[in-house]
Amino acid sequence: MFQGLDNAPQILNIERPELGLTAFIVIDQPSFDISAGGIRTKTYSSNAAALDDAKALARAMTIKCALGGLPVGGAKAVVKLHAGLRREEAFIHLGEVVESLAGRFRTAGDLGTFEHDLQLMATRTGFVHTNEQELGRSVALGLVACIESVRSEVFAEYPSVLRVSVQGAGAIGSSVAKELSNEGYEILISDLDETKALETGHKVLPASAALFAEVDILSPCAIGSVVSNSTWSKLRSKIICGAANNIVSGLDVHWHLHRNGTIFIPDVVSSAGAVVDGIGESVLGMSDRTDLILKLGETAKQILQLSQTNDEPPHLAALSLAASRIASRS
C-alpha cells in the first residue's frame, strides 16, 4: 500500500526501571526527515501489547499526514501506565529522549497524557506541543468540516437540525461538541466521568447509551475500537465521524457498515485537525492553518466518492488515496 517507502519502522525502546518507565517511540516511515504523533499513556497487558499499539497508531499517523496534505511521516509514543511509574521524572526523561532525536519526532498529547506531563517534557525539548485545548479546537474544526462537506448529500431529506452523540468530554470531545453546537447541531454528550460531560452544558447521556443513541451522527471522541462486531448492528446513526483513533475495530466491521449503508468518515481524516495545525505551524511555518484544516472536508468528500465508485468501505478508499499521495512525493 505504501510503495517506495520503508516498510520497517524505527523503534526506540525506553527502559528506566528506577523510574518505573517503559515506553516506546515508533517512527513508522524512517525515510521521512520529520515524523509526528502524540504520546499515549495507558495500562497495557504486556510490552508486546504496548509496542503493537504504538505501531498501529504510528501507521495511522502516516496515513493521516498524507491525507492532511503534510510532507511528514507518522510516529507515536506509548508509555506503560502502572502504580510504580514515577510520572514526573518519567516525562522529564521522555523529553530528553525526544530532544535527542533532534526534531525527527514532533509530539503532543494523546489519550492518558495531560498538559502537565507535556509541560514537564517541554523543560527538556522544544519538539513537544503543550497546549491541549488549542489542539482540541483544531481537531474539532477539521471534524466539523468533514461533516459539513457530506451532510447535504447524506441528509437531503432530513430536518435542518441534526442530532449528534459525542462520546467523550475531554479536551477534544468538549471542543467537538462546542464547534458542532456553534454550527447549529443538537448535541448529546457522554463521558465515563459524568461531571466532565455536565460541565460542557449540553444534554448528557449515560456513557453506556452513547453509542446506541437514536441520533443522526455518532462522534466517538475517546477510546478506539468502539464500533466492533458486537456493537455495529446496534448503532442507530447514519454517519459515524469522530476524533478518536481507530474507531472501527477491523476490516470486517468496515465492510458490515458499508453494506448496511452506514457512512463512516475515516478517523484518519476526521481527527487530523491537530496534526495539520501543529505541523503547519512548526514545520511549514504557516501563521494561520485554518484553510489547511478546512481542506480536510474536501478530502473526506473525495474519499466517500471514491468509496462509492469502487463499492468499498471508506476506510479502504482512504488508504488508496493516502498511498497515491505518498507515492507522488517519493
pLDDT tens, position by position, 147-181 = 999 887 777 666 678 999 999 999 899 999 999 99
Q: How would you label 47-73 residue by residue, b for 16+ Cβ within 10 Å and e otherwise? A: eeebbebbbbbbbbbbbbbbbbbbebb
Using CA atoms, how far apart are residues 161 and 317, in angstroms rounded to an integer? 29
Q: Is the pLDDT of residue 108 over 90?
A: no
Q: How confident is the model at residue 1 (pLDDT cuts 50, 70, 90)?
A: very low
One-letter amino acid at 270 equals S
Q: How confident is the model at residue 4 (pLDDT cuts 50, 70, 90)?
A: very low
> What is the reported pLDDT for 157?
67
Q: Is the pLDDT of residue 62 over 50?
A: yes
For CATH 3.40.50.720, the residue range(s) in the chain are 134-329
> What is the reported pLDDT for 2?
46
Q: Is the pLDDT of residue 278 over 70?
A: yes
Q: Is the pLDDT of residue 92 over 80?
A: yes
Q: How confident is the model at residue 276 (pLDDT cuts 50, 70, 90)?
A: very high
Cell digits of residue 114: 495531560
> What is the reported pLDDT for 285?
83
Q: Is residue 243 within 8 Å of residue 265, measured between CB atoms?
A: no
Q: Is the pLDDT of residue 212 over 60?
A: yes
> What is the reported pLDDT for 330?
56
Q: Around 54, how many Cα atoms within 13 Å sit in the side-chain half-sphere?
A: 32
pLDDT tens, position by position, 128-153 = 988 766 778 899 999 999 999 988 77
How many CB atoms within 10 Å of residue 298? 14
* DSSP 8-state class, residue 11: E
Range 134-329 has CATH code 3.90.600.10: no
> What is the reported pLDDT for 132?
66
What's phi and psi for 42, nearest 5 deg? Answer: -160, 155
* DSSP 8-state class, residue 3: T
- CA-to-CA separations, 147 to 166, 222, 270, 298, in angstroms, rounded: 13, 18, 9, 10
Q: How confident is the model at residue 19 (pLDDT cuts 50, 70, 90)?
A: very high
The pTM is what?
0.83
The CB-based long-range contact list for 62-66 (8 Å cut-off, 24+ gap) reads 62/2, 62/28, 62/29, 62/35, 62/322, 62/326, 63/268, 63/318, 63/319, 63/322, 64/268, 64/269, 64/271, 64/272, 64/275, 65/36, 65/272, 65/275, 65/279, 66/321, 66/322, 66/323, 66/325, 66/326
> What is the reported pLDDT for 7?
66
Q: How would you label 128-146 residue by residue, b for 16+ Cβ within 10 Å and e otherwise? A: bbbbbeebbbbbbbbbbbb
Q: Is the pLDDT of residue 5 over 60?
A: no
Range 10-130 has CATH code 3.20.10.10: no
Find the radius of gyration of the CA atoms of the chain.
19
Task: For the chain, give the percent of residues with pLDDT over 90.
Answer: 78
> What is the reported pLDDT for 188?
98
Strands 21-27 and 73-80: antiparallel
Cell digits of residue 242: 469522530
Q: Is the pLDDT of residue 282 over 80?
A: no
For CATH 3.40.50.10860, the residue range(s) in the chain are 10-130
Q: Is residue 229 within 8 Å of residue 249, measured between CB atoms?
A: yes
